[in-house]
Structure 1
């Protein structure tokens, strides 16, 4: 039986990953956290809810290699659900040394560079390392591949995200990770056979349809998008765009955030709290997280369009569910391949959509 350890298992995303894993699989789950008392309490809660006494707890500190060595012992795969990119090298090295497969729910240029530098070693060791799993990154490239599966030739694929969580969403260290990402913000898109400059960004109106309607969106680059033109040589345009939210957030909160980060790059926590306060204070319905792809190409020799979307009212759920849907493919062997992979490129996107729907994500596919 497979054993999956969740590093950061008492965090918002980690808890949801654990619950969905127990509901969807027969794996045993290890809740790993810096505070063993919290991990043990959550493990007891899960064992009372789900049959089989399949959950245990262990102390793990991502900044301490000895701690991780002890925690990773006997595990099949570790899910890094904690925003610990500052200590990414320790988790990566420990997983390799202990012969454990790896999946992270993180976004970070430094972490990705570390994984790339170890990619040959990962493959030679026969280990499966999956990075940048979750909502975004994770789903944008999967949605492009999902659209391509419904076309004979894909020529254009624009992915767009709408994030409106309303009030009351707690601040977590994941926001710190987001602010760290802003330091290396890139916004290139692929147009006319080449990527635009990383220092440039694009504004465009995108019609989300329904109660969201037309929104002004800002380009944002994810590393998972880079390989798509190679995978689909017919692609002439691909990119990711993030929707505007509230005018105060867009024209006041965000500019102040950028300037503050420029002047005081180490003030990550206060900047993050300021941004989170703005997003939680200035908002209007509809409240949900939505990601969609608008693609076009050819089907049976004729022009065709694919619109596919996923949405959920809870952003943490829409992070955890794609992770577990990807793990279902890892556990049955279809996504268990030696090497370093992006989640959106190693999974079967059609099955991913079906499994996410079973776990409560609203999915829509329209082909015209």
Structure 2
């Protein structure tokens, strides 16, 4: 049975997951979410070109139990109903109880790193539970592994993402992003844990093709998973950037109000700030970028730097977080793993797998060596 349920299948990233999987003739795709009308509309929109069989269903990720999942009879359930900062493992547990595989697109640090709590029940049910099948840690870890193979010792990793200003994250995701400003972040730096703050440590990064952008520190699962999987690592850092410098510098400045405890949380400003971003959409572009830079030593103990860049144009950036779940779903349906158990999406696919999936999109990847 090759039936796939995509919760949040009409959202910013879930819609891209559904679109890609709908190209597979051997699959049955159920577009699901709280709004049945939106699920129906997206299923109808895909029907014209889809090779898969398409259905839709009303499903609330926060309330669905094993009986609800069983009624849909999926082989794999993909949870794209972020943001995940306020979610628990209710839906994953329901999938385990039903006996279906579970994949989510989470990038919330505690959510992804804590998924191993479900490892024993997932193994007992002979199902696979994967959290973080997204740009981070799914794709970022694939890039790190690809480059680290060229080094004898990996010492530092810096990851960064800057989407194009044309991308509309929606109010809930915007609130999650803005709400992190000024909040403490525990990071592994120079061989010890230190505290930094969300949207601070301001710096510039120059992307090929799209130029330099402001970047600041943000919390992601990689900050825990990199030191855990590479014990010799001395520094792990993640940065995010807004394409429009005025927006980024404004958020950086506002983060100091939270850090100084003059303001408790910026997330209530999300609707107003998102509305302003939409009105000023002409200031940016549809081009976004991602980088992964590693530093280490080769077999001759010489210091080396490698940098992987991804540039997404023509509004294709939102496909990037979708691809890890597409890759893993195809593998699970084909019986090719990952094995039963619950795990973060760290090193579960190769960079070449991602490149193959995006070959038809306006996405280019390059690797630079010092």
TM-score bracket, normalised by the shorter chain, equals 0.7 to 0.9
Q: 1:155 to 1:357 in 2, by over 3 A?
A: farther
Aligned to 1:138: 138
Q: 1:163 to 1:360 in 2, by over 3 A?
A: closer
Whole-angstrom CA distance in 1 between matches of 2:335 and 2:178: 36
| Pairwise CA distance, 1:102 | 0.8
Aligned to 1:291: 290
| Pairwise CA distance, 1:157 | 2.1
| Pairwise CA distance, 1:176 | 3.6
What stretches of structure 2 of length at least 5 have no aligned partner? Answer: none
Aligned to 2:354: 352
Matches within 5 A, 1:59-74: 59-66=58-65, 69-70=68-69, 73-74=72-73
Aligned to 1:83: 82
- Give SS of 1:318's match: helix
Matches within 5 A, 1:274-353: 274-280=272-278, 281=280, 284-285=283-284, 287-301=286-300, 302-313=302-313, 314=315, 315-353=317-355
1:220-242 deviation digits (Å, cap 9, x = unpaired) = 23223313234223323221122
TM-score with structure 2 setting the length? 0.82
Q: 1:78 to 1:149 in 2, by over 3 A?
A: same
Q: Specify which of 219, 222, 226 is matched with residue 221 of structure 1.
A: 219
RMSD, aligned CA: 3.5
For this pair of structures, how many residues does the alignment match? 364
Aligned to 1:367: 369
Whole-angstrom CA distance in 1 between matches of 2:67 and 2:265: 27
- Give SS of 1:365's match: strand
Q: 1:199 to 1:87 in 2, by over 3 A?
A: closer
1:160 is the counterpart of 2:160: yes
Compare the two structures and name the one with the higher helix fraction. Answer: 1
Whole-angstrom CA distance in 1 between matches of 2:49 and 2:206: 38
Whole-angstrom CA distance in 1 between matches of 2:295 and 2:89: 40
1:35 is the counterpart of 2:39: no
| Pairwise CA distance, 1:4 | 1.1
Q: 1:49 to 1:244 in 2, by over 3 A?
A: closer
Whole-angstrom CA distance in 2 between matches of 1:198 and 1:170: 25
Asked if the contact 2:203/2:216 (under 8 Å) is kept, the reply is: no
What stretches of structure 1 of length at least 5 have no aligned partner? Answer: none
Q: Specify which of 250, 253, 259 is matched with residue 252 of structure 1.
A: 250
Bigger drift between 253-262 and 354-363 goes to 253-262
TM-score with structure 1 setting the length? 0.82
Asked if the contact 1:159/1:291 (under 8 Å) is kept, the reply is: yes
Q: 1:263 to 1:333 in 2, by over 3 A?
A: farther
